Amino acid sequence: MSDTYRSREERKQAERKKQEGQPSGKPKKSGKPKKKGSFLKKFLIACLLTGIVVLGAGVSTFFAMVKDAPKIDESKLADPLSTKFYDRNNAFLHEYGSQKRTKITYDQIPKVLENAFLATEDSRFYEHHGIDIKRTAKAILENITGGFGSQGGSTITQQVIKNYFLSPKKTLERKVQEWYLAYKLEQKYSKHEILEMYLNKIYLGNQAYGVAAAAKAYYGIDNLKDLTLPQAAMLAGLPQGPSIYDPSNPENVENAKKRRDIVLSAMYKQNFITKQQMDDAMKVPVTEGVLPRQNNPMPYQAFLDAAVKEVESQLKNVDISTDGLQIYTTLDPEQQSYADKMLDTADIIDYPNDRFQAAFVFMDTSTGEVRAIGSGRKEYKATFRGSNFAIDMNRQPGSTFKPIFDYGPAIENLKWATSHIVQDAPTTYSNGTPIKNWNNDYKGDISIRTALQWSYNIPALNTLKQVGLDKARTFAEGLGITFDKDVVYESYAIGSNAVNPLEMAGAYGAFANDGMYTKPHFIRKIVFPDGKELSFEQKPQRAMSDYTAYMVTDMLRTVVDSGTGTAANVPSLDVAGKTGTTNFEKQVIAKFGYPSNATSDSWFVGYTPQYTMSVWTGYAQNGAGNYMVGNTQNIAKYIFKEMMRKFGNDNSAFAQPSSVVRQDDNELYVKGQMSDYVPVKADAPSGLQAKYNQEKKEISLSWSYPQSKIQNTTFNVNYSLDGGQSTALKTNTKDVALTLSNAKAGGRYTFSVTATSRGKTSSAATVTVVVPAAASSNTPNNNNASNGENNSTNNGNNSTNNGNNSTNNGNNSTNNGNNSTNNGNNSTNNGNNSANNGNNSANNGNNSANNGNNSTNNSGNSTNNEAAEPNNNTNNSNTNGENATSPSTPEQSVSEEDVGIPKVP
């Protein structure tokens, strides 16, 4: 019966047992060697199987650990780079960023620095493929005895991976990922590129990331090739402990020297330097060449804030804290320092209190480059990345807006002369709201030069109405002015819109620069980390004709020379400028108890051929005592004057272009546009007459003026009494006849009349009138006429002449026979012939001689109790050389009680 086996192995085992149990003639073999060979074989097999299992498990574990490892993303290899600021002369100002770092390339790394780091961090860097097996094994052994993480064996490549891609946490998984990614990194990048990554990335203390930033921070060295051997060794020793080896900290000097010398020893062992070089370097004090540790706050924060905001407005998605920009600004350190001093202290300007604020922009006229700014005082002083009054505020500019929105557009579009006449008289906005001048006065017809000189509001509005809102807006927008929702209002004629000092400086800069607008800017250029440059220089744009720019400038000269801006004048410079103030609303005045003349904002914007400056002063918010009055309104002018006086050194004058003509009246005209021109003097009034009305006790004046010229002409009338001081009878009148009431008896009046046309004043026309004196006791003056009038006083019958009404009361006159007694004047006429020199009247029944006026008294010896008859007299006399004819005046009597004349018995 054959045996059945389940497997080949089972059959072989059975056959082996049979053979062992059968007798044999041969000696039986010992089992001992067989057992030895069998054990070894089994052991090896077991080890092999275990190895396979372990290997499989290890591989599985390895892949499990690395499957979540991050990919080698090139974008993550970009270091966050700090931004550096430079002034207008390319001098370094400040470094800003979350990490102060200057990126370098391998070509910029000197061998002494490379060797120092290689000797210290990775001596077989150029031999391994990312992992130094020998060093790693040693590190593993030490970790087994000392606990995982007690000793590192990372190569430079591994440190790059750790710094760029992995967390600093020490775990087996992270270490495995580090090995894996280090190998991958070596497959993708060259050794030089990896070393470059490492030296740009590492933190070396003193807020310095990378060797370039560290060289600058510790030694003030910009070019790494200027580093000495001791300096290079010190930098290479810092990564192990930046805080304890920092040589700029006096407490670290001993530790820093030990660490530096360890690096020098390593360099010698690796044959990078000779023993002599090592010894010499070790003798150098570790503090030699080290800069004192400094806290470097950002200087000129307001200016650099404005510069960064300009960058961010033009470059989208830029991050100055990480993008490594080199920003070359327009800042002048001397001017900016003076500006800061002017606002931060009371050494230059005497401010009323610490709450008082100011902001300004000081700009190069020809280029638009901002040289300095002032932005707030005390608690409102601008900080980097904060509020910046000079560029961010929105305040009403007041009258400083008139050249931009009124007179500039008028000259540009209507070609007005500086002598052009506008009306200064009561008026309203188109919606019926009244507008007033600051002095609540009106000047009648006035030239735009004078209107701007004294900052009158009504002429400005009337100018805007003639220009039109659309043209005014277009003109202003060409000067960089923006309007909310692109809407403008008539009130903008006097500056009720919102602006900031930067905008106003840019706008006035165009007037100063021959009509070319250059956008004010804080940056000249930017250099990116890859060396590419972007220019921020602004190209001038034609904003107005050259004649407009010069004519506005000339009018603004008048403002500074003899108008509202004299406090800003610098005699040695050709200065043009404009003042501006704004008022509080009535509710605000009532709420805080402000004076009625308190102002909210005070501006001065002006320029020379060299610099343009816009200054605002006021308070940040309303509150008790937060207002300006009196001399505080001039602080804006004082700030302007101080900056111009300090830094203005160009004494040249603005050049008059060929498109402008200056006439003998010293006014400017657009060439070929002479409609506004008038002779130097206006025509004088003619035919001046003065007449005294004795009955009314008044003097009447009249004169004539050419009808073709009277529309734009006003008259000023003055008089003097008995050669005394001249007194204004009426000014800026269009009347050609006036009356002086209550003329003094016996007084000598001299009148002068001048005409003013288009801002020009004529010579004076004069006339003199002598008012008759009161009648003497012997001579009754019954009808004395002066200057052709027939105002008579009846001195014989105690009569009162009121206007044209003469009343003879009381029957106080008795004429008996030949003797006439005049009780009114207490005079007695004896004889038959009575001479009445006043009225030359004929008394019927008496022989009387009438000299002068032929008057007939038909009543004889009559008594006038109620009313006298009308007296129709014609006076043909000539007084003071003036021929006049006066119509007769009816005389009416009134009762004594009406005039208070005492009765005479």
Q: Which residues are catalytic?
A: 121, 399
* Cα–Cα separations (whole angstroms), residue 682 to 685, 714, 716, 756: 9, 10, 13, 6
Q: What angle do CA 249, 255, 258 make, to 5 degrees?
A: 135
Rounded to 5 degrees, φ, ψ at 31 are -85, -10
Chain mean position to CA 415:
29
> What does the radius of gyration of the chain's CA atoms come to, in whole angstroms?
53
Q: What angle do CA 383, 387, 389 make, to 5 degrees?
A: 100
Measured distance CA(233)–CA(507) in Å, rounded: 57
Question: Across-strand partners of 799?
Answer: 808
- Burial class for 56, CB neighbours closer than 10 Å (0-12, 13-18, 19+): exposed
Rounded to 5 degrees, φ, ψ at 219 are -125, -5
Q: How many CB atoms lie under 10 A from the CB of residue 556?
A: 27
Q: What is the DSSP string of 851-893?
A: -SS-EEETTSS----S-PPP--------BTTB-----------
Cβ-proximal residues to 787 (8 Å cutoff; 6+ apart), any chain: 689, 690, 691, 692, 699, 700, 769, 879, 880, 882, 884
Q: What kind and span of H or E run contains 611? A: strand 611-619
Rounded to 5 degrees, φ, ψ at 428 are -140, 165
In the chain, count of helices (H) and strands (E)? 25, 37
- Where residue 531 falls (left for φ over 0; alpha for ψ -120 to 50; beta otherwise) is left
Structure tokens at 518: 């250059």
Cβ-proximal residues to 842 (8 Å cutoff; 6+ apart), any chain: 848, 850, 854, 855, 856, 857
Q: What angle do CA 535, 537, 540 make, to 5 degrees?
A: 145
- Cβ distance 462 to 423 under 8 Å? yes
Rounded to 5 degrees, φ, ψ at 644 are -70, -40
Q: Quick one: DSSP state of residue 786?
A: B
Measured distance CA(836)–CA(843) in Å, rounded: 10
Rounded to 5 degrees, φ, ψ at 343 are -90, -30
* CB half-sphere exposure, 714, CA atoms < 13 A: 19
Q: What angle do CA 55, 60, 63 make, to 5 degrees?
A: 120
Measured distance CA(850)–CA(836) in Å, rounded: 6
Find tokens 């370097």 and name the residue. Answer: 281
- Residue 579 three-state SS: strand
Residue type, 58: G
Structure tokens at 738: 């006036």
Residue type, 869: E
* CB half-sphere exposure, 399, CA atoms < 13 A: 25
3-state helix, strand, coil in the chain (%, to 5): 35, 20, 45
Cβ-proximal residues to 445 (8 Å cutoff; 6+ apart), any chain: 421, 422, 423, 424, 712, 713, 714, 756, 757, 758
